Amino acid sequence: MPDSDMKTIYNARPRSRSAADMQCAIRILEGRWKMMILAWLFEGPVMRFSDLQRAIPDISQKMLIQQLRALEQEKVIFRTVHAQVPPKVEYGLTDIGKALGPVFTALLDWADLRRAVKASDA
């Protein structure tokens, strides 16, 4: 491997603080749905339960609730219940949740890059 490649790698390398930190963060976002839900919560100040259902049609009601509860417990999102009939519940990002912005931005950039590379391969 030539030196130039080494440099590329070491420039790309994120400062490794600790593997434990990484795992901790990963576990919170783990699963098929959490990132998807968070991505949609970035779309507006709040989203109603039914908004999320419509936004992510493949998720089952059970999963949606389960994942929302998990994210709420980690204080990544908040839940506000309005005493109305029919009920109205709003979900939104907490400050910690909003701090995930750069992660999602980076991920979307990466997705773009991948698509570009794939296209040029073909």
Q: Which residues bind a copy of itself (CB under 8 A)?
A: 1, 5-6, 8-9, 11-17, 19, 21-26, 30-32, 35-36, 39-40, 42-46, 55-56, 92-93, 95-96, 98-115, 117
35 binds, among DNA, a copy of itself, none (CB under 5 to 8 A by kind): a copy of itself
Nearest residue (CB) to DNA, 91 versus 100: 91
DSSP annotation of 74 reads T
DSSP state of 31: S
**Closest CB to a copy of itself among residues 14, 86:** 14
CA separation for the pair 14, 30 (Å, rounded):
20
Q: Distance between CA atoms of 79 and 21, rounded to whole angstroms?
A: 26
